[in-house]
Structure 1
Amino acid sequence: MTGSPSRRGAGGAWAALAVLIATAQPARPAETALGVARFDLPAAFEDWTRREMSDGLLFQRVYEPSGPRGRKGLAILLVAKPKPASGAFDTAFTQFVRGIKQVPAEGKPLTAKAGETLDGHPIRIEQRCCRSSDGLRMNAWFVGIAAGGSEHYLMLLTLQLERETEKPVREAFERLVQTYRASKDDRGLALAPRAGDGGMDGLYARTETRLMPNAFGGMDFIADQETLLFDKSGLYTTEMPRDGDMAGHCRTEVTTCGIYALKGGWLSANRIDRVEVENQFGLAKRSSEAFARTKDGIKIGDRRYATMPPFAEGHRFSGTWSHTFGSSGPTGAVGGTRTLTLSPDGRFTRESSTGFSSTGGSIDGGTTVAGHSRRPLQSGRYAVSGFRITLSDEAGGTESLSLFAPDRDTDKLLVIGGANYLKQAK
């Protein structure tokens, strides 16, 4: 690409990339048009220098070291002008990646994804690291989108960037890609139900168990509550919105949300079509599964979900609930308990403790390091409404957590903030 950081440009990374543009102008956080494409430029790129080239837009910023031992870093954002369709999108994407001089073409990418956008366009996403061809610490994210008669390519390249600096830059790049509209009818990463979508509302849950490897070389038994919260509009989420606003939640936590449509009539539906967002770049996952209503919930494919009734406004509890967690293996263990006591007068107390041990470095396998911590007792008042419990402590702090009871007509198990709390026997 002419004028871009490509293999055609000779010289080191800094000579090719770190030149400040005399004619640079601040990027504006507004809609930007580039050929047939449009995108919203996040405010994070406002103070980057900007260069308009024959083959696209180049943004860059030099970051000064944050400490005496730090090193100067550089970030490059490239939004290429849309190109006519090549007829071989996968090959063209590979050539785009290999055309960036500082990114070694050899070896497998750190991550590689391929699929469709919400607008139905083929998309490819690739991340590469960890050393540039010039020996600098490097991270690069590449995105390619094929939209009808055109192909679109975007890249974020960071060199020597400290982790705390790189994270917001990467997130800003993700937001830019989310708003990228490759053709005039595109919506970008916007979960907007259409006419005919939706039809259900309420919370449904099922218990899912699995074994998962842990950091100590052992296996943990995990029992989670898989939840689906449906809105009649056609939106659904796998996480509970903090303030009950489904639409607002799905704008900010898009990877936890999706769109659904019932097929076969509202009461006699026999299939459910879903579109969900797989990652922050807008990769969409589409599915169509058998659907049925059951006596106490719904069935999707071979998975049964029970209806979770909401708690009444001002509901009161009486008792103490505990959440216990832990991991163990040949090299150590960590575990702890959180307890929450709720009384009928609307008061709560909670505390937690955590302990750990490590056998690392011990010849005979005995414990070499151990520790224990306890969180100070917290107390205050609680309020319940629907699927939320709000804890207001005596120090003036407030915390709102999701809440439901998986077992009907009993509070022996409460799921609070996504964690299972068992009621203690009196």
Structure 2
Amino acid sequence: MKQPLLSSVILAFGLLAALPAHAEEMKLGSITFEAPDGWELQKNTEGILLTKKFPKTEDDDFAAAMIQLVGAKAGPAQLDANVAEMVSWVDGMTEEDPMTDSAGTTLNGHAIKVEYRCCGYQDDISLGQTIAGIASEDEQLLAGLIFMNTRSDHEDEAEDAFEALVRSVRFAGDDDKGLEPQSGDGGLEGVFTHLSTGLMPNAFGGLDFTSDSEIMVFDKAGLFSTELPAGTDLAAWCSENPTDCGTYKVTGGGWFGGERKIEMRSMLNDFGVVETETLPLEKSGDDLKIDEGDYFRLPEFDNGTRFDGSWTYTWASSGMTATSSGGVAVQRTVKFTPDGKFTRDGWSGGSSSSDMGGVTVSSDRPASSGTYEVAGYELTLKGDDGNTETLSIFAPDRDSTDLLVIDGGNYLKDD
């Protein structure tokens, strides 16, 4: 691979305005990928260059991102070296340790490596860099995303586009079906919950106690999800939310099957890095034990279920360091009546203080009302303003609705 000149690429931004935006399947040699919408295309001797301008910032007149795509005739053994070479295309980046990195395989079984580094400078332009390399048996695609004077929200936008492009990469012979069960997958069915508690560091230098009802949804065909689909079926949900999902198969069990295990295959991140775990599995009546964790089957709510009372979600976080302190709190309340009506309101607030002073902010959530319907694991709210929301809902305690988990939040029934 030959090193491109970043300065010439920056100059090229001024020449791209007349080129059309692309949102279509593209090829680099025999490698196929999906180009992101709204990015300008420029083919060059190094491969393909996609660029996007952003509004200038308060401090800079130039803000943009570019994606460089380069093919190489090499196998998996050369992947690390080629990723390292692409890192060196931005001066100074090889001296920075990756802030995030991951490696594994893709859905089609190819080796993949991803690294993100920040920050470098060239000609007074601040730079950030993400490199992704994917290798088949005899061919590689190297993809580099470079940020130039971008704000965090623009970086998020560019990163989303880059992740989608990398996930879409296919070599000759690969299919484009995405995350789908294979022959022999499956073996379970239902929605299960596992109570997870612990302490987590927060942004204010303190520790928050967490108590979450983790979800596992299994279908017979071999799909699983760590989120309850709302307003759609599991296959459609997993197609739109691949990092919440995976495929699984159950092995062993019975008189001569040996120890029962579950093999779970899922995406680690939005680049499509796949991880496979094989964990012990036990069945106890309707419930499961996965890797020594208890997972209890959740019954569905009957269609037309009605509630009577008000439930409140509260979240707070606080802490202090040697020079500052702060905290934030959120409260939301929903009231259901037996005649199928609801009302909602809430508030949020935060404060921070340091040697330089302090600030306190708060806001109320406008009250809303309407009618509600419950069916299975779905809560549909039809507002008086004409808006409709479909949220997930379940009760972790089979015999009580004192705690409702609505859209992932713990709502406790008020006394």
Establish whether TM, by shorter chain, passes 0.5.
yes
Matched, 1:73 2:63: yes
Matched, 1:251 2:239: yes
Which secondary structure does the structure 2 equivalent of 1:255 belong to?
Answer: helix
2:333 to 322, 327, 339: 339
* TM norm structure 2: 0.90
Report the Cα offset of residue 90 of structure 1: 1.8
Matched, 1:200 2:188: yes
Partner of residue 242, structure 1: 230
Tell me whether 407-416 or 78-87 shows the greater mean CA deviation.
Answer: 78-87
Report the Cα offset of residue 75 of structure 1: 2.5
C-alpha contact 2:41 2:48 (8 A) present in aligned 1: no
C-alpha contact 1:40 1:176 (8 A) present in aligned 2: yes
| Matching of residues 309-328 of structure 1 within 5 Å | 309-328=299-318
Report the Cα offset of residue 301 of structure 1: 1.1
Seen in structure 2, the aligned counterparts of structure 1 residues 337 and 19 have a Cα distance that, compared at 3 Å, is closer
Which secondary structure does the structure 2 equivalent of 1:359 belong to?
Answer: strand
Matched, 1:373 2:366: no
Partner of residue 51, structure 1: 43
Matched, 1:31 2:25: yes
Partner of residue 217, structure 1: 205
Report the Cα offset of residue 385 of structure 1: 0.9
Partner of residue 19, structure 1: 12
Report the Cα offset of residue 89 of structure 1: 2.7
1:164 to 150, 153, 160: 153
Q: For the residues of structure 1 that align with 2:133 and 2:99, how far apart are their CA atoms?
A: 16
Query: What percent identity do the matched residue pairs reach?
Result: 35
1:276 to 266, 275, 283: 266
Report the Cα offset of residue 243 of structure 1: 1.3
Seen in structure 2, the aligned counterparts of structure 1 residues 73 and 346 have a Cα distance that, compared at 3 Å, is same
Q: For the residues of structure 2 that align with 1:62 and 1:329, how far apart are their CA atoms?
A: 39
Q: For the residues of structure 2 that align with 1:404 and 1:175, how far apart are their CA atoms?
A: 32
Partner of residue 140, structure 1: 129
Partner of residue 103, structure 2: 114
Partner of residue 95, structure 1: 85
Matched, 1:153 2:142: yes
Q: For the residues of structure 2 that align with 1:68 and 1:218, how far apart are their CA atoms?
A: 33
The runs of 5 or more residues in structure 1 that have no matched partner are none
Q: For the residues of structure 1 that align with 2:76 and 2:187, how far apart are their CA atoms?
A: 42
Partner of residue 175, structure 1: 164
Q: For the residues of structure 1 that align with 2:330 and 2:12, how far apart are their CA atoms?
A: 53
The runs of 5 or more residues in structure 2 that have no matched partner are none
Please, what is the CA RMSD of the aligned residues?
Answer: 2.6
Partner of residue 283, structure 2: 293
Task: For residues 231-281 of structure 1, give each alpha carbon's deviation from its aligned partner in whole angstroms, at most 9, with x where no partner exists.
Answer: 222111111222132122112211111011111369988111110101110
Q: For the residues of structure 2 that align with 1:345 and 1:377, how far apart are their CA atoms?
A: 19
Task: For residues 270-300 of structure 1, give each alpha carbon's deviation from its aligned partner in whole angstroms, at most 9, with x where no partner exists.
Answer: 1111101011101111011111111341111
Seen in structure 2, the aligned counterparts of structure 1 residues 96 and 418 have a Cα distance that, compared at 3 Å, is same
Partner of residue 400, structure 1: 390
Tell me which amino acid in the other structure corresponds to 2:49: L
Report the Cα offset of residue 29 of structure 1: 3.0
C-alpha contact 2:343 2:368 (8 A) present in aligned 1: yes
Q: For the residues of structure 2 that align with 1:57 and 1:200, how far apart are their CA atoms?
A: 45
Tell me which amino acid in the other structure corresponds to 1:92: N
Which secondary structure does the structure 2 equivalent of 1:298 belong to?
Answer: strand
Which secondary structure does the structure 2 equivalent of 1:105 belong to?
Answer: helix
Tell me whether 410-419 or 375-384 shows the greater mean CA deviation.
Answer: 375-384
